[in-house]
DNA sequence: TTATTAATTGTTATGATATAACATTATTGG
DNA sequence: CCAATAATGTTATATCATAACAATTAATAA
């Protein structure tokens, strides 16, 4: 058994320590695979934005991304960032965190999933986890009232275990 | 037994038909009670904003509220609306729907609750329901990773039963 | 290959949402 | 009443996001 970890080993980083560089690398590989498989074009600016998200330990706002794009020599008008982000979000490679108007790389880009986010108000990191859609409270409630769900936003703000501990 | 309904009879309107005028009236009464009980001041502008939210069948953006305030003779700079909304949200009389940057009156202002919202993409109405906090998927996940939740955002976008039916 | 179409990127401008900061007025508690 | 606190008035600006259209590049069909 090799010690090499796959992306799915990191599917729920959830504030835990992990080899961030390797995590980012394997998720970037996964993104290339996924785009190849689906005939999508991971163009330079799209790849750069995904790379920025993967490198970041916290969600990035569109304008933060924009200024990093500028530093990297890309054009830096708002639509540049928003278009790349739209592409990544539409294709499940990134998610938008509504509560903080920011974006994170998806930690499990392969599967269909209804992601849920835990946003730490202290360290500002975000953990993505997910839930089997059928078992979510949202889904049960929707079924009860005949509501047909197309998209969900499930986010919690609070304190992660590490930060709480650090505060003692 | 009187035919007069209390606010809690409307705790989950969920796209159903109901007497909106009476619903709004009883929720306004409840707001007055609640403020009296807690020593909060439901000032004219706060009451007006709550009234606007209660009258509306769909969530209202801050600037929509602002323009209605202006029509009603109130001052109409953005902070006027945002302050009133902050007051209402902080005290559980209204909620912010993150996905659409808009606000709705709370349909069950008495109880502590973790509201969840169903946003219809066709009629743009929003149904507020809620879930026992301990039983939510979010809460279970948070416990599993030692995350201390302070606030939750749970929203679904899709089609309500009525609108789907109308489409057939 | 070349013409055509579709997708992507470049660019300007503006729209939409939200808050900082500080002055003024009203309310509450001593 | 007076002091402290809360709420409101006001100006200005920060932040987030998209419309619209032109130019370029890539995919595709002839």
User: Would the CB atoms of B154 and A154 count as touching at under 8 Å?
Assistant: yes
A43 CB and strand C closer than 7 A: yes
3-state secondary structure of A61: coil
Domain B15-167 sits in CATH at 1.10.10.10
Two tokens at B85?
């909304």
Tell me what the mean pLDDT of segment B79-94 comes to.
97
CB B70 within 8 A of CB B45: no
Give distance CA B46 / C1' D25 (Å): 55
Q: What is the pLDDT of residue A37?
A: 93
Two tokens at A14?
């959830």
Rg (CA), chain B: 17
Q: Does the beta carbon of A149 lie under 8 angstroms from any beta carbon of chain B? A: yes
The strand pair at B148-159 and B126-131 is best described as: unpaired
Tell me what the mean pLDDT of segment A38-51 comes to.
97
From the list A41, A35, A47, A113, the residue with the least C-alpha distance to A74 is A47
**Domains of chain A, residue spans:** 16-167
Residue B45, pLDDT > 90, answer yes
CB B90 within 8 A of CB B98: no
CA distance A69 to A153: 28
Residue B20, pLDDT > 90, answer no
Pick from B131, B148, B158: CB nearest A148: B158
Find the residue in A nearest to B16 (Cα): A145
Question: Which strand D nucleotides have any atom less than 7 A from protein CB atoms?
Answer: 6-13, 15-20, 26-27
CA distance A168 to A165: 6
Residue B81, pLDDT > 60, answer yes
Residue A168, pLDDT > 90, answer no
B137 interaction partners in chain A (CB closer than 8 Å)? 116, 131, 135-138, 154
CA distance B46 to A7: 50
A101 interaction partners in chain B (CB closer than 8 Å)? none
Tell me what the mean pLDDT of segment B97-117 comes to.
91
Tell me what the mean pLDDT of segment B55-72 comes to.
96
How confident is the prediction for chain A on average, in pLDDT? 89
φ, ψ of residue A68 in degrees (nearest 5): -70, -35
pLDDT digits (tens, 9 = 90+) for A53-68: 999 989 999 999 999 9
CA distance A70 to A67: 5
Q: Does the beta carbon of B15 lie under 8 angstroms from any beta carbon of chain A? A: yes
CATH class of A16-167: mainly alpha
DSSP secondary structure code for residue A6 in this structure: P
Tell me what the mean pLDDT of segment B45-71 comes to.
97
Residue B6, pLDDT > 50, answer no
Pick from B135, B147, B156: CB nearest A156: B147
pLDDT category of residue A84 using cuts at 50, 70 and 90: very high
CA distance B58 to B103: 9
Residue B10, pLDDT > 60, answer no
Tell me what the mean pLDDT of segment B8-32 comes to.
75
Q: What is the pLDDT of residue A17?
A: 72
User: Would the CB atoms of B138 and A158 count as touching at under 8 Å?
Assistant: no
CA distance A1 to A6: 12
φ, ψ of residue A140 in degrees (nearest 5): -65, -45
From the list A135, A132, A133, A130, the residue with the least C-alpha distance to A155 is A130
pLDDT category of residue B5 using cuts at 50, 70 and 90: very low
Task: Find the farthest-apart pair of alpha carbons in chain A and give their distance in angstroms, rounded.
Answer: 52
Residue A104, pLDDT > 50, answer yes
Angle between helices B78-90 and B62-71 (to 10 degrees): 110
Residue A133, pLDDT > 80, answer no
CA distance B56 to B154: 21
CB B60 within 8 A of CB B53: yes
Q: Does the beta carbon of B168 lie under 8 angstroms from any beta carbon of chain A? A: no
B150 interaction partners in chain A (CB closer than 8 Å)? 121, 157-159
Residue B140, pLDDT > 80, answer yes
pLDDT category of residue B135 using cuts at 50, 70 and 90: confident
CA distance B143 to B141: 5
Per DSSP, the residues of A92-144 read TSEEEEGGGTEEEE-S-TTS--EEEEEEETTT--EEEEEE-GGGSHHHHHHHH
DSSP secondary structure code for residue B134 in this structure: G
């Amino acid at each position: 058994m090799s010690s090499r970890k796959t992306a799915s080993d990191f599917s729920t980083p959830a504030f835990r320590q992990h080899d961030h560089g390797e995590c980012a690398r394997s998720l970037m590989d996964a993104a290339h695979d996924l785009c190849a498989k689906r005939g999508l074009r991971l163009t330079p600016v799209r790849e750069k934005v995904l790379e920025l998200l993967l490198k970041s330990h916290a969600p990035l706002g569109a304008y933060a991304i924009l200024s990093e794009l500028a530093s990297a020599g890309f054009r830096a008008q708002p639509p540049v960032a928003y278009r790349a982000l739209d592409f990544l979000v539409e294709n499940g490679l990134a998610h938008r965190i509504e509560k903080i108007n920011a974006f994170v790389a998806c930690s499990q880009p392969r599967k269909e999933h209804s992601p849920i986010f835990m946003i730490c108000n202290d360290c500002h990191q975000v953990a993505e986890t997910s839930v089997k859609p059928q078992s979510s409270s949202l889904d049960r409630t929707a079924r009860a009232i005949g509501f047909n769900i197309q998209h969900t936003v499930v986010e919690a703000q609070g304190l992660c275990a590490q930060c709480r501990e650090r505060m003692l």
